[in-house]
Structure 1
Amino acid sequence: MSERAAHEVGIVDYPGAQVACILGLTDLFSIACTIALDQRRSGQTALRVTHWKPIDASDANLSCIYDSAPSDSPQPRTLIIPPTMVDPDPDIPAGVVSWVRNRHAAGTALVSLCSGAFILAATGLMDGQSVATHQMYAMALAKRFPKIVVDTNRRIIGHGDIITAGGFLSWVDLGLFLVGRILGPAVRAETARVVLDGPEASEARYFTGFAPPQTHGDGAVLKAQEWVHMRDGRGVSLAALATAAGLGRRTLLRRFASATGMTPIEYSRRVRIARARELLGGGELSQKEIAQALGYSDVASFARVFRKAMGETPGTYRKRFGGQDISSPDFAAKDGLSQKKHLFEADPRTD
């Protein structure tokens, strides 16, 4: 039986694209590929990375300018649209838009990162759908593409074969997310150790004050965790989670607790509160907007659950941490004093 072909990940090198993101993702995927080969003890290439660049702005036939494993004609199965550098209302190359749309029609999955959402939105494929991006691009994106729904409150939004990522998610996190999907949890965990010098660093990047256990190796549970993460812990039911994991309810409860040390409901509550802390500490949304974004019935319900979990009101928390870099060591150290014994023991009836 012949070996399965490598999964090809293409990266669009359009005018103004962030070079550090393109090269960084390329290195990350190279590391993941090496780890996959070592774990499988085979000579099969696990990942093939290609870069695609237009000859000019109007050219709809992008050329492959880099191929990590040249063999047959390159055909990306996953295509990443990286962010631009700084411009909050970037130019959109018409040829690139046309090429991306054609690639999707041919069966390629699309992933946009931050302001890469402008190119994705220009294809028309996201009309009527929610799109994630960074807060600094939200207003311009919504104005230019009124048919899409811009959402800066969710780090990853999946629509089948189209994924948009934005907000506080960096290209490193996105790369690890894709490695986990393509090569599995074991390769992702080892890649995180190499890239970030320890799995704890990788996991802590997802949420403020909460490092989701993701190195346990249970693929079904990781699917369930991913489902919770993509919803920021909102609207989680055991039935839906079991379906996402491909397990029966009882089996999910047993394996989820074994892998994470928590029940699915407790885990979802931690994700939800951690996301609230992130929005309070690093963003400019009002408490009402945060409550709505996280699915609470009203501000009072949100405040009640938050206070039970953190030992202080959302307003007090924001006064102490608002406007700070939520990824900095100083923030983490100061925020650590909020980690109490009763943390996240909120009454589910108020959640």
Structure 2
Amino acid sequence: MKHISILVPQGHTSVTNIEGSLQIFSEVNGFLTALGREPRFIVELVGLEKNNSQRDGLFSIRPEKLIGEIKKTDLIVIPAIHGDQQKALELNKDLIPWIKDQYNRGAEIATFCIGAFFLAGTGLMKGKQCATHWKFANEFRNMYPDVNLVDHKIMTGEDGIYTSGGAYSWLNLTVYLIEKHAGRDVAILVSKAYMIDIDRTSQSPFIMFEGQKTHEDEPIKKAQEYIEKNFEEKITVDQLAVMFALGRRNLERRFKKATSNTVVEYIQRVKIEVAKKGLETSRKSVNELMYDVGYNDTKAFRTVFKRVTGLSPIEYRNKYNKEGVMAQSA
């Protein structure tokens, strides 16, 4: 039997992550019994206090055990923790020695969405790949530059530590862990029962690019604004360097530091974001939208679009254009 400890942190945490993972992992035992096999999981809610108020008292969660009562566990599940991440880390600092001790004794750790901030705060993520919600990618990189954030992935797994991307991608990680510990057939049953796409691996199609502007480098902010206002033009690094009186290497170094993108990547992502919105809302052809955002080479445009979103322009339109969706379902 595998013991699963679903943490109930202090502060504003995801009730959905806590209750949902408790339900799904517990349901696995029912599926296994129906298949004539032994139950696989012992699932418990674990916290620092017996009474845990959530969302300003709107919800109350009562952990079944306190961390001191769990001498050995096999899998620790960390839900998303909302709000100021530094405050969340301080509020839950007493969880950290227990988590590290259990990991050193062989426990696996899975964290959902922005729960990755708390896990990274334990120091266990240094040098490892990590996923989190794409919207908080820049904030994460600033707080934890020694962690290899891969914000396009739905989930990661390395050295017994698993992370999931944005929002409901925790379902994909949960199914993956069920497959690992209970078998592919049970994972398929769970995916069908809860209607979870078992083979999703990327959150790139869902990312809305929002240029990182929380930095204090004013010339770089102006360069970003110029790119965003003139996305239809062919903008070069040399052009921007001259425009803002910066040497090319200096511009590239400062731009990367401030935005977590190279200048070329930023230009491409701004153009692709505009093209995405066109594919979502307009009837223009892919080529028309390509020209609108300053591309003349069809192959280059499609290659960059696929790299950024994980989908071809046509696949993206079919997925997100209302008229396209209605036509397919008619």
TM-score range, shorter chain: 0.5 to 0.7
Aligned pair partner of 2:209 in 284, 295, 304:
284
Give the aligned partner of residue 252 of structure 1.
none
C-alpha distance in 2, partners of 1:102/1:335? 55
Alignment of 1:60-79 (within 5 A): 65-66=63-64, 75-79=72-76
Gap runs ≥5 in structure 2: 51-61, 211-265, 271-296
Q: What amino acid is aligned across from residue 120 of structure 1 in structure 2?
A: L
1:78-93 equivalence runs, <5 A: 78-85=75-82, 87=84, 91-92=88-89, 93=92
Q: 1:107 to 1:307 in 2, by over 3 A?
A: closer
Question: 1:303 touches 1:314 (CA, 8 Å); kept in 2?
Answer: no
> Pairwise mapping of residues 270-349 of structure 1 onto structure 2 (< 5 A)?
278-279=205-206, 282-284=207-209, 288=268, 303-304=301-302, 330=322, 333=325
Report the Cα distance in structure 1 between the residues aligned to 2:321 and 2:33, rounded to whole angstroms: 35
Among 28, 36, 39, which residue is 1:32 paired with? Answer: 28
Query: TM-score scaled to structure 1, two decimals?
Result: 0.55
Structure 2 residue 44 is the aligned partner of structure 1 residue 50: yes
CA gap of 1:129–1:333, structure 2 versus 1, over 3 A, is same
Q: 1:50 corresponds to which letter in structure 2?
A: E
Who is 1:14 aligned against? 9
Q: Is the 8 A contact 2:268 2:304 kept in 1?
A: no
Once superposed, what is the RMSD of the aligned Cα atoms?
3.8
Cα distance in structure 1, aligned partners of 2:70 and 2:147 = 34
In structure 1, distance between residues paired with 2:168 and 2:298: 29
1:304 offset after TM fit, Å? Answer: 4.4
Contact 2:163–2:173 (8 Å) recurs in 1: no
Deviations 1:15-67 (A, max 9, x none): 1221221111111112111001211x24x3211101110139xxxxxxx9327
1:149: Cα distance to partner?
A: 2.4
Structure 1 residues 1-351: aligned runs within 5 Å: 6-15=1-10, 16-39=12-35, 41-42=36-37, 44-55=38-49, 65-66=63-64, 75-85=72-82, 87=84, 91-92=88-89, 93-167=92-166, 169-196=168-195, 202-203=196-197, 207=200, 229=201, 278-279=205-206, 282-284=207-209, 288=268, 303-304=301-302, 330=322, 333=325
Measured after TM superposition, the shift of residue 125 of structure 1 is: 1.4
Q: How far did 1:121 drift?
A: 0.6
Partner Cα distance (1:91, 1:284) in 2:
26
Q: Would you say the 8 A contact 2:7–2:45 is kept in 1?
A: yes
Question: Conserved in 2, the CA contact under 8 Å of 1:114 and 1:133?
Answer: yes
Whether the aligned pair in 1 keeps the contact of 2:17 and 2:112 (CA below 8 Å) is no
Partner letter of residue 301 of structure 2? A
Identity of aligned residues (%): 19
Cα deviation code 1:284-322 (max 9, x no counterpart): 1768469xxxxxxxx9766345899xxxx967887x68x
Separation in 2, partners of 1:51, 1:23: 9
Q: Within 1, Cα distance between the matches of 2:324 and 2:39?
A: 39
Give the whole-Å Cα distance in 1 for the aligned partners of 2:326 and 2:84: 33
Structure 1 equivalent of residue 292 of structure 2? none
2:262 matched to which residue of 1?
none
Per-residue displacement from partner, 1:258-289 (whole Å, max 9, x unpaired)?
xxxxxxxxxxxxxxxxx66x15xx42176846
**Max radius of gyration: which structure?**
2
Q: Give the structure-2-normalised TM-score.
A: 0.58
Letter of the 2:48 partner, please give it: P
Distance between the aligned counterparts of 2:327 and 2:4, measured in 1? 38
CA contact (8 A) 2:109 2:161 kept: yes
